[in-house]
Structures are given as C-alpha cells and as structure tokens.
Structure 1
Amino acid sequence: MMHKLTYILAIVLMFIGSFSLVGQSEIKNTFKLLTHDTEFEAGHSILLKFSGDGETNPLLYCTNSYGSVLIQGTNKNKILAFEIPKSIANKTGLVNWKLLTNGTNLSGKFNITPKQKVSKMETYLGPPSIEAGGTDYSMLVVIPTDPLDNPLQDSTQVNVKHQFLTSEYNNAIYTNYLIAYKNLYSETKSGRMLISSDALGTHSKEYTVNVLPAIPANFKISYQQHHNYADGNQITTFTTSIIEDKYDNIVSDGTYVDFFITNKDNNILKTSGTTINGIATAKMIHPDHEDTWSVKAFIEGMAESDNISLNFKQVITDFEVAFSDDSRTITIGPLQSFMKQMIPDGLQVKLHFYQNDTKIKTLLKSSFEGFVTFKLNEDIIPVPSDINDTFKIIIETARIEKSFENIKL
C-alpha cells in the first residue's frame, strides 16, 4: 500500500513539473510587435521590432511576390529587432511576415511603395506600321520606373506627344496596374508618325510609326511597243496608272502587280512588276505568229485593272526549203520580216518526221542570220532497212507549215 501511494505521488509531481515548464516556455516566448508602420518607401531601411521576455531568438519569415526569406534578428534589452534585407526592401508590393515562436502566434503584413522619382521610361510600341484610314492603330505602352526599377504608383501622370504631317498632339494618360497606354490611330493620309512620352520630368526617346496606304483601289493599264508585228523579237511594255488607295494615297513602293495575257488559243501568259512611285511596269516578248492578246492586271486579293486588247500582225507568210546531201541536209530560209529584212535570231523552227503516217521524230532549232539548217546524220535518222522506204517531212515555223512527201534518205 505504501509503494502504491509513493507511485501515485511521483506521477502527480511529474504533471506539476510539466505544467510549470509549459508555463515557463509560454512566458519566455511571448512577444509583442512594437513597429506600427505598415507602409515603407522602396530602398529605405525597414526594421521590425518586438518586445518580450523570450530568452531565445526566433526567426522571422518574410514572403513577397519575388520569393521568401528567413531573417535572424538581434535581441538587446529585451527588444527583438529584424532588419528586412534589401532583396525585399528594394521591391514594391505587399510583404507578409510571421514570427516563428512556440508561444504567441504573431504575423502581419506591410506594403512597400515605389520612390516618386522616375529613373527610366520603359516604352513599348507596336505594330511599327499601320494602315491609313482612321481605323488601324498602334499601341504605346509606358512603364515609368524608379531608380530601383520599380513601376511607379497607379495614377501617375504620363504625357504622350505625337506629331503627324503638320499636326501635333499632346495627351495625358495615367498609370493603372503599373502601366499607362494609349492607342494612336492613323489618319486618312499616309506618312510617318513621331511619338514621345514623359513622366515627372523624365523623357523617353523618339519612336516612329509608319502610316502606310490602305488597300489599293482599281486602276488602269496601258501598253507601249515599237510595232505590232509578230516577229518573236520585239518587246511590249505594260504600264499601270498611278495606283492609289481610296484616300488618294499612292501605294507603297514594291507593291506586286501580275499581268495576265490570254491569247487567241485561250492560253494564259503571265508577267509581273512592282510599283515605283505607284506605277508598275512589266514586259512581254512578241509572239512569232499572228495573234490577239487580252491583258488584265491584278494586285492579288485587293485590286484589278481594266482589260485591254492587242493585235499582232503576221510577218512571215512564206519560206523556202532546200534539200541536199541525199536529203540529209535541209536548209530553211531566208526567213524575212515585215520589211524583207532577215528575221531576228531565235525564231523557232520545227522539223517533223513521219514514216507510214506515224511521227517518229521532231527536231527543233532556232534561226541564225535568217536561216536554219538541219543535218540528219544516221544517229538521228537511221538508214531505212528497205531502200524503197520513204519519209514525210513537215516543216513548221511562225504557224506556217510546209509538207514534203516521199523523201528518201
């Protein structure tokens, strides 16, 4: 019985000692915030002070949008002080803190505001080119920052100036959610817009937006040529009128124009050019036979021209053909143009070989000094197995054909 009482007494003493230790721990770790400021300017020293009877130095946990940090404080004369590091004190925004103790649960927050001084104007502008007409615009975004690279407080005034042709404009805008912006709309004329901004006496550099002509309007085309003979040599030049948009702005240099040519056989030829001072030119060589061209120009997906028609006269109406060397040398010519002069070099001549009404070979050559000569060696046209075999030869140039029957090689 005596042992049982002793055991119970020992347990009671242990509980009493435990409560005594808990009480001492709560007393030692009881702190009170002495710093009542909740707003600080970026770059200044920030000190959080606590009073208390704690014998240990707890850590202070701080966190903001840039990260988190644990701070070791100093305890002097029962005043616990924590200096906020520059990595947090130099950045604007809300900072949350918590004192890591076993006793009193202390936490709070404070706000860091930017310096009211502009060190740099972060400026963004785009797009760099817009279309005339008053509907397209370029956006200017301005972020005035303090010497610590913090955006200034909301409602900071930013003055935006821009100049276009003979007009100058000045508008005041205000920062909201750290930025200020303005839409700069085009006018009906094309040209260059110059833009600048300033805030609290600090100015940005000059920026430029090019106001380009709007979509081209329909236009007209014309042509120039030395003559209208189909000699396969001369060149016809196609020219557009001055191409403008609906606001009478000349289109930008380099605008691509396609010229489509439909001939008498409904085949389509194409040539193209790019504009200089609003005018595009393109060239096309004359056909080598009588033909009619229908010409129309397009700026793809945007504008088109009227339709013009050209007629080309036949220049070659007949030609001579001479056979020699057992008909293995065939000379065509002279090929003469509209003034009986030799046709310019390069006229195409075709030679078609038929055996038993079946085409077996086509040879192609270009004229030189008014003549074309075909030499039919045995590699081109083999000696027939039957000496009585004959060939049919058709010679074609400038859409004129001459046929020769029963030719022996």
Structure 2
Amino acid sequence: MKLKYTYLFFLGLILLSSFTIMKEGERDVDIKLLTAQIDYEVGSRVILKFSTSENVKPLLYCSNSYGSTLVSPTFESNTLEYTIPKNITHKIGVVNWKLLQDGVSLSGTFNINPKAEVATIETYIGPPSIEAGGTDYTMLVVVPTDSLDNPVPVNTLVNAKHQFLSLEESHNIFTNNLIAFKNIYSKKESGRMLVSSESLGTNSKEFTINISSSIPTDFSITAKRPHDYADGNQITTFSTSIIKDKQNNVVSDGTFVMFFIKNSKGNILKTTGTTIDGIATSKIIHPDYADNWVIKAFVDGMAESNDITVNYQQVIEDFNVAFSNNNRDISVGPLQSFMQQMIPDGLQVKLLIYKNNKLLETYTKTSYNGYVYFKLKPAIFENDTYNFRIETAGIEKEFNNKKLW
C-alpha cells in the first residue's frame, strides 16, 4: 500500500513540474519600441531600436510602394537594432513595419521625405509646333528630381523661361503632385521660340518651338508668258502674291496652292504649286489653238484668289494635206507658226477615217520638222471609198469620197 502512495506522489510531482515548465514557455516576451523618430530624409540611415527582456531575435517585416523585405536584428544589452536597407531608404514614401514574434503585436510606420535639392530636371514639351495669333499654346512639364531620382518636395520653385524674337520672359511655377507645368501661348508673329527651365540652380536643356503662321487670307495671282500665241510649245507661269495670315505673317513654306483653269469650251484644267517665302508658282504649256482661259487659285478650304483672264491667239491659220501612193500616204504640212517658222516639234495631229458615216479608226501623231505623215496599210483598209477628217491646232479639214486602191 505504501508503495502505491509513493508512486502516486512522484507522479503528481512530475505532472506539476511539467505544467510549470509549460507556463514558463508560454510567457509573453516583453518588447518595446525605443525609436521615436518617424520622419527621415531620403538617403539617410534609418535604425529602429527595441528593448527586450529576453534573448530573442525576431525578424522585422518592412514594406513600401516598391516592395517588401525582412530585416534581421543585432542584439546587444537587451536592445534589438534593425538597420533598414538602402533600397527602402533611397525611395520617398511611407514605410510600414511589423515585428514577427509570437505573442508580440508591434507595428508602425515611418516616412522617407524628399531632399530639398535638384540633381536633374526631366523636361517635356509639346506640341513642338503651334499657330501664331495668341490662342494656340504648348505645354511645358518639368519634373525636378534629387540625386536618388526622387521627386522634390511640394512647392519647390521652378523658373520657366522662354525667348522669342527680341522678347525674353520667365515665370515662377511650383511643383505639385511631383511636377510643375506651364502653358506657353504663341505670339502674333511667327518664328522660333526657345524654352528652358531652372530649379534650385539646376538647368534643363534648350527646347525649340516652331510658331507657324495661321490660316492664310485671300491673295491675288498673275500670269507671265513669253508671248500670247497658242503654239502648244511655250510655257505660261502663274504666280501668287505673298500669301499671309490675318496677323500679316507669311505662310509656311510648302503651303499647297491649286490653280483651276476654265477654257472657252467649259473644260477644267488644273495645275498646282507650293509656296516658297509665301509665293507659289506653277507652269502650264500653251494650248495649240486659240483659246480664252479664266484662272482662279485656292488654298484648299482656307483662301482663294481673284479671277484673271488669259487669251491665246491662233498661230496656224491653214495647212496643206497631200494624198499619194493610191491615196494611202497622207502628208500634213508644212505646219507654220506666227512668224512663218515651222511649228515646234510635238504638235498633235489627228486623222479620223469614216465609211458610211461610221468611224472606223482614229490615228494620232505629233509633228516633226513641221510635218506629219500617215500610211494606210492595205491589210487594214481594203480598196474602197472612205471619208477623212484631219484635226490640228483647232482646225478641221474633211476629205470625202477618197478612193483607196
């Protein structure tokens, strides 16, 4: 019986000892934050210190907008020290931290603030071309950053500068939401504007804005030619006056001008040109018969010219036609111009062949040394009677009932 009680006594002691050890293992670790500072300048060294009564080294979880990391501590004299890594302290923003220790609920935040310095200036500007007149504008956007590529503090001064012709201007603007911006309006004149910016002693590079003329206004046109004969050879040149906008700026080089020509038959001819120093020119060959032209020019949808009239005199009043070789060889000429000289090579001559009032064939040739020759082959035109019509320089001649054999 004594043995039984002795066994029970020792079993009770063992259970009591186990319960005491378990309660000691579950005891909370007492850790307190010693660092009171919550604002740091970007790039500075950040150390979080904690006091502890136990020899424990829990990890510190850190997170910012760029990512998360775990930091191991150093332990000395019941003090835990966590050195925050540079990839976190070199970026501005809020950093959240939490101590990873069972039984310890300790977390907080600290701020990494930007430096009041400018190492580089990122500058954006556009559009690169605007219209003169004072209503169109380009926008300058400036992003000053520190040596660690962080945006500078809010309300950092930026000086926006621009030069145009003899005028130089500067405007103070301030950063907000990481940037500073300025709308730069055009002037009444056209030209090139130079734009730059400066912040805390750091300057941007130079940018160029082209201020082009605005919508052109109506203009006048003239015609120039070596003579007024319709020889189908010489060139008539059409020119505009200096085309300007309503601010009296010369329009940009390359402005497209279209010349419309209405002849006496109601047909429309067209030629085009582009401006150089505000003047557009275009050329067209003379007609080969007497004609009256009415010319008007347009800058499509924006401006138009006055109407001008150009008259051309007939140079060929008559021409000879000779039939030979059984009427199968036809010679047209000589074709003579206004001084009785041979017409320049290239005058168009048409031969139209009919039978029973039905057009069988049309041949077109150009003159050479004042003559044009046609040869009718027996394989195409059998021996029979045909009607012929010859057209050139606005003159028509008919030869009826010509027999081929």
Change (3 A) 1:216 1:21: farther
Offset, 1:218 = 0.9
Alignment partner of 1:398 out of 360, 385, 393: 393
Distance 2:315 2:24 in 1: 123
Letter in 2 for 1:103: G
- In structure 2, the residue matched to 1:322 is 322
* Alignment correspondent of 2:372: 372
Distance apart, 1:21 and its partner CA:
4.0
The answer to whether the 8 A contact 1:223-1:237 is kept is: yes
> 1:74 corresponds to which letter in structure 2?
T
Query: Which residues of structure 2 form unaligned runs of 5+?
Result: none
2:402 equivalent among 389, 395, 407:
407
After superposition, residues 210-249 of structure 1 pair within 5 angstroms as 210-249=210-249
Q: Name the SS for the 2:313 alignment partner.
A: strand
Pairing 1:287–2:284 present: no
Q: For 1:211 and 1:231, locate their aligned partners in 2 and report how far apart those are by CA, in whole Å.
A: 46
Shift of 1:400: 1.5
Give the deviation of 1:93 after TM superposition: 1.3
C-alpha separation between the residues in 2 aligned to 1:158 and 1:200?
8
Report deviation, 1:54: 4.6
Q: In the superposition, relative to structure 1, how do residues 45 and 344 fare at CA in structure 2: closer, same or farther (>3 Å)? A: same
Amino acid at match of 2:305: S
Whole-angstrom CA distance in 2 between matches of 1:23 and 1:275: 96
Q: Is 1:85 the equivalent of 2:71?
A: no
Distance 1:222 1:316 in 2: 27
Matches within 5 A, 1:265-344: 265-344=265-344
1:403 maps to a residue whose letter is E
Alignment match, 1:50: 50
Tell me by how many angstroms 1:57 deviates.
2.5
How far residue 40 of structure 1 moved from its aligned partner, in angstroms, is: 0.9
CA distance in 2, matches of 1:21, 1:310: 117
Q: How many residues align?
A: 395
Deviates more, 1:343-352 or 1:105-114: 105-114
Q: Report the residue type matching 1:161 in the other structure.
A: K
TM-score with structure 2 setting the length: 0.92
Equivalent residue letter for 1:27: D
- Determine helix, strand or coil for the equivalent of 2:305: strand
2:200 maps to which residue?
Answer: 200
- Residues 252/23 of structure 1: CA separation in 2 closer, same or farther (3 Å cut): farther
Displacement of 1:341 in angstroms is 1.6
SS at match of 2:169: strand
> Sequence identity of aligned pairs in percent?
56
The structural deviation recorded for 1:207 is 1.8
Q: Deviations over 1:140-173 (max 9, x none)?
A: 1111111111110011111122221111112111
Q: Give the Å deviation of 1:115.
A: 2.1
- Distance verdict in 2 for CA 1:91–1:22, change over 3 Å: farther
User: Which residue is 2:165 aligned to?
Assistant: 165
- 3-state SS of paired residue (1:125): strand
Contact residue 236 and residue 284 of structure 2 kept, 8 A: yes
Q: Which residue of 1 aligns with 2:60?
A: 60
2:36 paired with 1:41: no
Comparing 335-344 and 276-285, the one that deviates more? 335-344
Distance 1:54 1:230 in 2: 114
Does the Cα contact within 8 Å between 2:316 and 2:337 map onto a contact in 1? yes
Q: Report the alpha carbon displacement of residue 76 of structure 1 after superposing the two structures with TM.
A: 2.7
Report the alpha carbon displacement of residue 271 of structure 1 after superposing the two structures with TM. 0.9
Residues 193-251 of structure 1 show CA distances to partners (whole Å, capped at 9, x for unaligned) of 12222111112222221211111111111111122221111111101011111001111
Uncovered stretches (5+) of structure 1, i.e. residues with no partner: none
The offset of 1:26, in angstroms, is 4.9
Helix, strand or coil for the counterpart of 2:344? Answer: coil
Q: Distance in 2 between matches of 1:238 and 1:342?
A: 27
8 Å CA contact 1:160–1:173 kept in 2: the answer is: yes
| Aligned-partner SS, 1:196 | strand
Q: Is the Cα contact below 8 Å between 1:220 and 1:240 reproduced in 2?
A: yes
Q: Which residue of 2 aligns with 1:184?
A: 184
Distance in 2 (CA, whole Å) between partners of 1:71 and 1:266 is 91
Query: Which letter does structure 2 place at the counterpart of 1:328?
Result: R
Distance 1:23 1:175, change over 3 A: farther
SS of 2:249's equivalent? coil
**Against the structure 1 CA distance between its residues 26 and 217, is the aligned structure 2 distance closer, same or farther, given a 3 Å change threshold?**
farther
- Counting only pairs closer than 5 Å after superposition, residues 147-158 of structure 1 correspond to structure 2 as 147-158=147-158
Kindly provide the CA deviation profile for residues 355-385 of structure 1, in whole angstroms up to 9, marking residues without a partner as x.
2222121111001111101122345x24x2x
CA 21–215 in structure 1, closer or farther in 2 if over 3 Å, else same: farther
Distance in 1 (alpha carbons) for counterparts of 2:242 and 2:319: 45
Structure 2: how far apart are the matches of 1:285 and 1:274? 18
Q: Tell me, yes or no, if the aligned pair for 1:27 and 1:53 is still in contact at 8 Å.
A: no
Q: Does the 8 Å contact 2:316/2:338 carry over to 1?
A: yes
1:130 aligns with 2:130: yes
